[in-house]
Amino acid sequence: MNRPISSSPLPDLPGLSAHWGWLIARGLAAIVFGILAFAMPGITVVTLALVWGAYAIVDGAFALMYGVRGKGSRRWTYILIGVIGVLAGLVAFFWPNETALILVLIIGFWMLGTGIFEIVYAIQYRRAIAHPWAVGISGLLSALVGLFIVVFPGAGALSLIWVIAAYAIIYGILMIVAAFQLRRWRNAHPTP
């Protein structure tokens, strides 16, 4: 059952749900990244930097597009997440030979920041939509994996690649679930 929207300064659900397709695109991009990382078991950290850099640029671009096209007073958060994603992706993409530790920390902090943003978002919308769990779980997953990577940056490259690949696939699936929840909400609440 859907509950009334609170008076918080978050983007309105009608505006957010109008762009549910962007979440599907972000989810699909994450799944493709995860599959590529699993499909190349001998992947090096440099190759991972290139693949992750491309993913972060695409994900950041989708977040930027939503932030620019979206409505509401909090769309700046999407713009910020988008800019950070594009910049982190460019750093990883254009300087892949930099130390593995820096790459690992970039990925870890990016996942941690994205996760915190999504947890806050899910908590703030918990009364506005019936099932905010998909965004909340994906945020918790992002934050936990990001924290693990930041705390243990010296983990073996192969295990790190598998952790990131598994995270990307699960995260992508949860983003697609959240997108369909937004679409269902939009269909149940047509705009006049």
Q: Decide if 38 is inside a domain.
A: yes
- Mean pLDDT across the chain, nearest whole number? 80
Which two structure tokens, joined as six digits, stand for 124? 């703030």
Q: Each residue of 14-65: pLDDT tens digit?
A: 666 677 888 898 899 889 988 988 887 666 677 777 878 888 898 899 889 8
Q: Decide if 4 is inside a domain.
A: no
Closest listed residue to residue 153, CA positions, set 189, 123, 109: 109
Amino acid code (one letter) for 25 = A
Q: Decide if 82 is inside a domain.
A: yes
When divided into structural domains, the chain yields a total of 1
pLDDT over 90, % of the chain: 11
Q: Decide if 6 is inside a domain.
A: no
Q: Which domain holds residue 140?
A: 13-188
CATH of the domain at 46: 1.25.40
Which two structure tokens, joined as six digits, stand for 185? 């909400």
Query: What pLDDT was estimated at residue 57?
Result: 92
Q: Decide if 67 is inside a domain.
A: yes
Q: Each residue of 67-85: pLDDT tens digit?
A: 888 777 678 888 898 999 9
**Does the pTM of the predicted model rise above 0.85?**
no
